[in-house]
Structure 1
Amino acid sequence: MTAPVILHTGDPERGTMWQAVFAQGMPEADFRCWPDLGDPSEIRHLVAWTLDPELIARLPNLEVVFSIGAGVDQLDLSLLPPQVRVVRMIETGITNTMAEFVATAALMLHRDMPAYMAQQRDGNWQAHDVLLCSERTVGVMGLGELGRASIARLAPLGFDVLGWSRSETQVAGATCYAGADGLETFLSRTDILVCLLPLTDATRGILCRDLFARLPRGASLINVARGGHLVQDDLILALDDGQLRYALLDVASPEPLPAGHPFYSHPAIVLTPHVAGVTRRETAVHSLLANVRRVLAGEAPDGEIDRGRGY
């Protein structure tokens, strides 16, 4: 078998660390770090967050692109020949940090933390009514790896948990709905909506005025998927007229948001800088190594996407 040749792009510190792990765990591999291409025609596997068209044009024998992140929407797949396979990152670091963040965010909104933080800034001491978690329904849109992990953290807290996906899916700990018909019932029951959908042409802008109107008045939003899911002006309107009570946003478009953007100062918005699900260098490299082994053995790698669907 020909020794695998892998090119890592992006953070050079991560690349050096992963190169050392491959040297120990797969010594037969030639793990290169950009800009050290060597002979580009030898490179079969590319590890990347984004795709550079000039680089892709120099890799005539590229077979697999491994995304650094849990999604692939940041990759311009039109740059890749149709035979090139694309694999998203599935690893414990991303999964656990996302599930922890979603549970934390749901509890924050459930217990009115944005209101208390705003009151603190204003010097206002005022208590709000307290509900039990069992009296609040959290709905998770997107039932992939991250959605299922988040439900596993939410359900033991006592929330009534719902799930929704495009196709029929069952997840322990949640009542699940599917498709356009199921979406209506799902939204009507959801007090705190969590978006964990992949970003595709079909889901871009899905968090909009029409969707917000189908939630119970006073519902809240957690977006930990992509900024492109959200219509920003519609969110401001929904918050200002009381249709939505709070929004916790870990993603935005663009990132970072420009200085003076209204999200920074809106009293009902909690903003974090895309830190919900984090690819941990120390754990992700082992998932990459295992997937390279699967590809070399002729097996399907974990996280391979359907390029036609985009996820």
Structure 2
Amino acid sequence: MTVNILFAALPQRWDSYREPLSTALREAGIDFDLRTEFAPAEVDYIVYAPNSAVQDFTPYTRLKAVLNIWAGVEKITGNPTLKVPLTRMVDEGLTRGMVEYVTGHVLRHHLGMDKHIRGLAPGDWPQDFPPLAQDRRVTVLGLGELGAVCATTLAGLGFDVAGWSRSPKTVEGVSCHHGDAGLKAALTHAEILVLLLPDTPATQNLIDAEALERMPMGAMIVNPGRGPLIDDEALLAALDAGHIGHATLDVFRVEPLPAEHRYWTHPHVTVTPHIASETRAPSASRVLAENVRRFEAGEPLLHLVDRTAGY
């Protein structure tokens, strides 16, 4: 039987997904009709981006599942009209991109590369050698798919890596902490802090004045996770005081970051425009097709969202 799949995202996404998703569905052995428009009552699956025009799922009476193409699902989990299973995107392209961004910026901060990139003045010859990676303490907050791979990669480079998650996790080569007491220990360890948590009520403003105070003097922060994880005013105060040495921020509460925001002009902040990683259509399409195949075969969906936890 043909399954009808609605692609509900911005038009440029359709341009990049149409061919690879069609190919992946064919390779998965699925008889499908993939379009950007259907009568709602005819739709079996929605391949979805939360910024699409579809916000009310009530008319989709035949709907089996919503397959999100974003890693983040905070903009859809609270939708009361969504009654069917929701999956989030975890794909190899997004994961590898995040590993490369995190590793690059951790190494940049570890090696103190900024002062050399800006350039030395004639006569300057500061030979302040960085420690070896084994003597640099890095903490990754969030040990989901992305956080665990980033933490493992950093540990493989020799860093002394700690990780934290709300529930107990085990990651090879990483000292894992959980719960409130574990968070305090993880922050105390963090000469470089990497934030890869989801945006949930429990994680908003997790990095507040108290959390920042627990971090070592001169610690550095890399946030490619979610903007609301950080209390912005508390971070700016810690940067002004010199307690936090530098913050590299890829995500913000408002995007694009408003022109008047102090992050743009602060000498110890690096702004990157939400480019840490991106879902790659070819690899993401294979995940989407596999989930359609699984549901049709009565098998568990991959990356099913826990709506109560928010991820």
TM-score (norm 1): 0.91
Q: Who is 2:195 aligned against?
A: 195
**Do 1:114 and 1:270's aligned partners in 2 also have CA atoms closer than 8 Å?**
no
Q: Who is 1:28 aligned against?
A: 31
Q: Who is 2:16 aligned against?
A: 14
Q: Structure 1's 14 and 77: CA in aligned 2 closer, same or farther, altered over 3 A?
A: farther
Letter in 1 for 2:293: R
Q: Who is 2:61 aligned against?
A: 60
**Do 1:9 and 1:15's aligned partners in 2 also have CA atoms closer than 8 Å?**
no
1:306 is aligned to 2:302:
no
CA deviation profile, 1:195-234 (whole Å, cap 9, x unmatched): 1111100001112211101111111111111111111111
- C-alpha separation in 1, matches of 2:243 and 2:215: 8
CA RMSD after TM alignment: 2.1
- C-alpha separation in 2, matches of 1:63 and 1:273: 35
Q: Who is 1:267 aligned against?
A: 267
User: How far does residue 139 in structure 1 lie from its aligned partner after superposition?
Assistant: 0.4
Sequence identity, in percent? 34
**Do 1:72 and 1:310's aligned partners in 2 also have CA atoms closer than 8 Å?**
yes
Q: Structure 1's 233 and 124: CA in aligned 2 closer, same or farther, altered over 3 A?
A: farther
- C-alpha separation in 2, matches of 1:202 and 1:273: 25
Letter in 1 for 2:7: H
- C-alpha separation in 2, matches of 1:246 and 1:126: 23
- C-alpha separation in 2, matches of 1:307 and 1:254: 24
- C-alpha separation in 2, matches of 1:170 and 1:275: 29
Q: Who is 1:295 aligned against?
A: 295
- C-alpha separation in 2, matches of 1:12 and 1:123: 53
Unaligned 5+ runs, structure 2: none
1:102 is aligned to 2:102:
yes
**Do 1:71 and 1:198's aligned partners in 2 also have CA atoms closer than 8 Å?**
yes
Letter in 2 for 1:299: E
- C-alpha separation in 2, matches of 1:112 and 1:204: 30
Q: Structure 1's 108 and 64: CA in aligned 2 closer, same or farther, altered over 3 A?
A: same
- C-alpha separation in 2, matches of 1:61 and 1:121: 65
- C-alpha separation in 1, matches of 2:55 and 2:96: 35
**Do 1:161 and 1:175's aligned partners in 2 also have CA atoms closer than 8 Å?**
yes
**Do 1:141 and 1:196's aligned partners in 2 also have CA atoms closer than 8 Å?**
yes
Large movers: runs of 4+ above 6 Å:
121-124
User: How far does residue 55 in structure 1 lie from its aligned partner after superposition?
Assistant: 5.0
Q: Structure 1's 49 and 177: CA in aligned 2 closer, same or farther, altered over 3 A?
A: same
**Do 2:247 and 2:270's aligned partners in 1 also have CA atoms closer than 8 Å?**
yes
Between stretches 134-143 and 266-275, larger displacement belongs to: 266-275
Q: Structure 1's 122 and 308: CA in aligned 2 closer, same or farther, altered over 3 A?
A: farther
CA deviation profile, 1:175-197 (whole Å, cap 9, x unmatched): 11110111111111111111111
Q: Who is 1:143 aligned against?
A: 143
- C-alpha separation in 1, matches of 2:165 and 2:68: 23
Q: Structure 1's 62 and 126: CA in aligned 2 closer, same or farther, altered over 3 A?
A: farther
Q: Who is 2:3 aligned against?
A: 4
Letter in 2 for 1:68: I
Which structure is richer in relative contact order (CA contacts within 8 A, separation 6 or more)?
A: 2
- C-alpha separation in 1, matches of 2:137 and 2:55: 48
- C-alpha separation in 2, matches of 1:229 and 1:124: 42
Q: Who is 2:276 aligned against?
A: 276
Number of aligned pairs?
A: 305
Letter in 1 for 2:161: V
- C-alpha separation in 2, matches of 1:124 and 1:76: 58
- C-alpha separation in 2, matches of 1:76 and 1:308: 8
Between stretches 143-152 and 72-81, larger displacement belongs to: 72-81
Unaligned 5+ runs, structure 1: none
Letter in 1 for 2:243: Q
- C-alpha separation in 1, matches of 2:122 and 2:266: 17
